[in-house]
Amino acid sequence: MSDAITVPKAELHCHIEGAAPPTLVKRLAEKHGTDVSSVLNGSGKYIWSDFTTFLKAYDTASSVFKTPADYALLAETYFRMLAAEGAIYGEIFISPDHAKAAGLSYRSYVEGLAAGMERAKTDTAIEGRMIAIGVRHFGSASVERIVKEVIGNPHPLVTGFGLAGDERSGHPANFAKAFRMAAEAGLGTTAHAGEFGGPDSVTAALEFLRVKRLGHGVRAIEDKELLKRLVDEEIVLEVCPGSNIALGVYTHLRFHPVNMLRKEGVKITLNSDDPPFFGTTLGKEYSSVTETFGWSFDDQMDVTRTAIEAAFCDEPTRNRLLVRLESAKQVPMA
Ligand code: ADE
Ligand code: ZN
């Protein structure tokens, strides 16, 4: 009975606005008088049909979070849910651009989210950190503004900087300056690449942004030389299989490269990306990949260990998380 104990989980790639349960979005839309009928259907499901309309639905759903208390509730809800699935650590992507569009300053946004994370941690012991992201299709000036805001308003739980948005727009070279500033300020860095873009996009992110972690990165499987580079440089992939299936990057999980990447020696982690949009959760990602590819308990433990080793947290926290992870093995199986 290898499933008698739940594998402790850790997540490195989840957009907090994309993690908003439709029920919460509906409730806040009513409170603020915001119309979200174009993105939420009668059965409480998000409406979108491709990557472009998904990004639009995501923007509209985000617009109902207007106060620090709204964001606190969102973060608390998400971290409690993660902990209930056996997660001991979660990093969330936060989008100051979306908060700004809803009328909130960077500082109020972060303080709201941090308050929610602390509340969840008090009850569940789940650790969390935030990675501020710039949105690629908003352009380099907006991405540089975000990194300056992060550096100018340091917060102990904001430990990373990243790039999300439409990978098909804007070359990574445009964002090199922002990433250099982030790295010099001691932030961990990650960038979405190799989701809708192919191997060239991954190579460009590595070359121009100097990241050691990649959001998705899965299309590196199409290039042997690049795969070797990922292995040699110990690049960690934030793999989001359910997201890739939902957005049509792959048709079925059995054709997804997550297992092959791992077999080739690439460091991979499992993540939910925008869970209610894609009908997934972190727990579902672990269980569907485990079932599809016949992974063992130890395979799943390895994935969580990789995530904790690559986490943008301080060393004492990392060591505590590793101890919690390894202690899962010592529970006698039923
Ligand atoms: N923002 C939210 N989800 C995203 C994804 N899957 N890819 C790029 N940007 C995103
Ligand atoms: Zn993402």
Render pLDDT for 260-275 as a digit per residue (tens, 0 to 9). Answer: 999 999 999 999 999 9
Locate 93 and state its tokens. Answer: 């992507």
Locate 91 and state its tokens. Answer: 């990093």
Angle, CA 228 vertex, CA 227 and CA 231 arms, to 5°? 90
Q: What is the per-residue pLDDT across 233-264, written as a single tens digit (0 to 9) for each?
A: 999 999 999 999 999 999 999 999 999 999 99
- Quick check: CB of 165 below 6 Å from ligand 1? yes
Locate 62 and state its tokens. Answer: 């985000």
Give me the number of domains the chain comprises: 1
Q: Residue 97 is part of a domain; what is its CATH number?
A: 3.20.20.140
List the alpha helices (DSSP H) in 233-274.
241-246, 258-263
- Quick check: CB of 18 below 6 Å from ligand 1? yes
Measuring CA to CA, which residue among 188, 183, 187, 94 is closest to residue 135?
94
Q: How far apart are CA 8 and CA 215, in angstroms?
A: 21
Which residue range is the domain that position 167 belongs to? 3-20+65-327
pLDDT above 50 for 70: yes
Residue nearest to atom 9 of ligand 1 (CA): 165
Structure confidence at residue 331 (pLDDT): 58
Domain contains 52 = no
Domain contains 271 = yes
- Quick check: CB of 267 below 6 Å from ligand 1? no
Gap from CA of 4 to ligand 1 centroid (Å): 34
Residue 2 — pLDDT band, cuts 50, 70, 90? very low
Q: How far apart are CA 166 and CA 185, in angstroms?
A: 26
Three-class SS of residue 43?
coil
Q: Taking the CB of residue 35, how many other CB atoms lie within 10 A of it?
A: 11
Domain contains 26 = no
Three-class SS of residue 18?
helix
Domain contains 60 = no
Helix (H) or strand (E) holding 31: helix 22-32
Domain contains 51 = no
Locate 95 and state its tokens. Answer: 């989008």
Domain contains 211 = yes
Domain contains 188 = yes
- Least distant ligand from the CA of 213: 2
Residue 326 designated active-site: no
Marked catalytic residue, from 11, 76, 91, 195 = 195
Q: What is the per-residue pLDDT across 26-52, written as a single tens digit (0 to 9) for each?
A: 999 999 999 999 999 989 999 999 999
